[in-house]
Amino acid sequence: SFYYTQGLLLFIAMWCLVVWALLRKSVEPVNRKIASWTRPVWTEVRFLLAAACLLWALLPGLLNLDLVYELLYSYSYGWDGGYSFAAWGMAVLRLVTMNVPALIALFWLWRLLRNDHQQNPKEARRSLLRALFRSLRARELKRPVEKRLARSSGLVLLALLAYFALSLFPMAVLVNFVRIHPGIWGWCLLLLACLLEALLVWALYSAWRSRGLARDIAALADQVETVRAGDLAKPLTLPRDADLRQTAEHLNDIQAGMKAALEEQTRSERMKVELVSNVSHDLKTPLTSILSYAELLRQEDLPPAAADYAHIIDQKAQRLKTMVEDVFDISKAAADQLPVHLERLDLAKLLRQTLADLDGPIQKSCLTFRTDLPEEPVMITADGRRLYRVFQNLIDNALRYALEGSRVYLSLKTAEGIAEASVRNTSRGELPVGVDFTARFVRGDASRTDGGSGLGLSIARSFTEACGGEFRVETVADLFTAVVTFPTEQKGQDT
């Protein structure tokens, strides 16, 4: 009956193997579906099921005393003949195959676990121990790095000390044994034990040195944090015998290089700002004279050609005056020297006032303005004069570069304590890709014949940021949008 049972199991196994070979290409969707079912099962539950199946498979054979006796007897006395070795092999086979349902359950459990590990990533599996270890790790990471390293090195040192103390008694027994029974094998064993003790002492010394390494790493991490905060004046000094002394010196060199580069950049920016300011200031006096004489010429009774020349001189001088003032304002804003008077103002009212002041150029243009402004006040903190200049430049930019006959949208919306004002228009020409339109002297008309200076959006961004807001430009195909955002003030809030 035993051989009949084994033959039947072998036949079933071969039949299952053939079926698997025929259907192995079409079982992938089934495997994914099964993996979705087994994913919520905790990892600890899987190990408990595997242990239970293994115990279920081996316990009946272990409880069979005759089988155990046969297994031990054939193992102890069966190495002198093939029959006894075969008997031992048969005893092992009977022990393993005594509980066939348990073996089948163990196999399918292994198959399900393997499929789950193949289909589901490690992060998607649920585990109580993994969650516990992650929480402990997250809690440990909140501690300073020097404390974490000192704690781990201290635990290693205590474990090595405990092992060293426990190894002293076997070492004493071995020495006494060699003294009573001297021999070559005893002395070899004693030499090996001495080598192991020497390695243990070296490990203790290394663990003790790691505590100093932890302090050096902590000092290095603090220095990196100091450099990150912008303090480039204080270098890091470590002892000469420190393992990280060379790394600290490299960090000091980087710190010194950053300090020198920052000082050079600051000096260059200061010289550039001073140069622009001085040039702008020096240009104002002759420019004022040019404008005055141009006005006087226009009042004279001149021939038509000379009158046109005087008009062109006055027009270009006015443009030069505007450009000089713009450059002067940008230089002051770049140097954080732009005077700003912050006050509590109504942004919706400011936008209406800007539109009213520019009503003349708007009416002369071929554009249609559509406004979406709330009736209730939208209170923000900003400099009204600077912010008026921002929206004046944005509307002027739309008048210059918007497609003729198109619409310009001016809207103001509030959400989650943020006021967002936007000016949207369709560009007359094709907008280039990857261009920062808020940079200086970047213009919509590359031919520079439209009368613009290329500083309008740069001034708008500088003035907005100086008032504490944010400015950005968004382009989608030929749609150009300038957005200004400010945090809103609550009703009754003091500024």
> In the prediction, which pLDDT does 423 show?
93
How many degrees, rounded to 5, is the angle at CA 340 between CA 339 and CA 346? 155
Looking at residue 400, what is its pLDDT?
86
Residues 421, 366, single domain; the answer is: yes
- Residue 274 sits in a domain whose CATH number is 1.10.287.130
Phi–psi pair at 359, nearest 5 degrees: -65, -35
> By C-alpha distance, which of 264, 274, 263, 259 is closest to 337?
274
pLDDT tens-digit map of 363-381: 888 889 999 999 898 999 9
Side-chain-side CA neighbours of residue 377 (13 Å) = 10
Q: Are residues 391 and 478 in the same domain?
A: yes
Same domain, 62 and 116: yes
List, for residues 213-266, the tens digit of each pLDDT value: 777 777 787 788 888 777 777 888 777 777 777 888 888 888 888 888 888 877
Q: Is the pLDDT of residue 459 over 90?
A: no
Domain limit, last residue, from 199, 228, 257: 228
> Among the three residues 177, 200, 228, which one is the final residue of a domain in this structure?
228
In terms of average pLDDT, the best of 9-13, 41-45, 282-286 is: 9-13
In a domain, 286, yes or no: yes
**350 and 483 share one domain:** yes
Same domain, 326 and 352: no
Same domain, 223 and 263: no
**HEC letters along 187-254:** HHHHHHHHHHHHHHHHHHHHHHHHHHHHHHHHHHHHHHHHHHCCCCCCCCCCCCCCCCHHHHHHHHHH
Q: Is residue 9 part of a domain?
A: yes
pLDDT score at 73: 55
- pLDDT beyond 80 at 18: yes
Looking at the fold, whether 218 and 237 belong to one and the same domain comes out as no
When mean pLDDT is compared across 16-20, 93-97, 458-462, the lowest value belongs to: 93-97
Contact 87, 71 (CB under 8 A): no
Q: For residue 293, give the nearest of 314, 319, 308 by alpha carbon.
A: 314
Kindly indicate the confidence band of residue 484, based on its pLDDT and cuts at 50, 70 and 90. very high
Whether the per-residue pLDDT at 7 is higher than 50: the answer is yes
Average pLDDT of the segment spanning 261-287: 75
Structural domain total, the chain: 4
Q: For residues 251 and 447, which has the higher predicted lDDT (pLDDT)?
A: 251
Domain span at residue 211 reads 144-228
119 and 156 co-located in one domain: no
Higher pLDDT, 364 or 490: 364
Residue 495 within any structural domain of the chain: no
Is residue 485 within 8 Å of residue 420, measured between CB atoms?
yes
What is the distance between the alpha carbons of residues 54 and 198, in angstroms, rounded to a whole number?
43
Same domain, 434 and 327: no
pLDDT tens figures, 60-99: 665 665 655 555 555 444 444 444 556 666 666 666 666 6
Average pLDDT rounded to a whole number, residues 12-19 = 87
Using CA atoms, how far apart are residues 159 and 154, in angstroms rounded to an integer? 9
In a domain, 461, yes or no: yes
Would residue 492 count as lying in a domain?
A: no
In this prediction, residue 448 has a pLDDT band, given cuts at 50, 70 and 90, of very low
Q: Measure Cα distances from 133 to 123, 138, 372 in Å.
A: 14, 8, 55
* Boundary residue ending a domain (337, 371, 396): 337
Tell which residue, 222, 128, 153, 126, has the closest CA to residue 136.
128
pLDDT at site 412: 92
Q: Which residue has the higher pLDDT, 113 or 424?
A: 424
pLDDT at 495: 38
**Does 493 reside within a domain?**
no
What pLDDT sits at residue 337? Answer: 65
| pTM of the model as a whole | 0.47
* pLDDT bucket at 443, cuts 50 / 70 / 90: low
Mean pLDDT of 474-488: 89
CATH code of the domain containing 446: 3.30.565.10
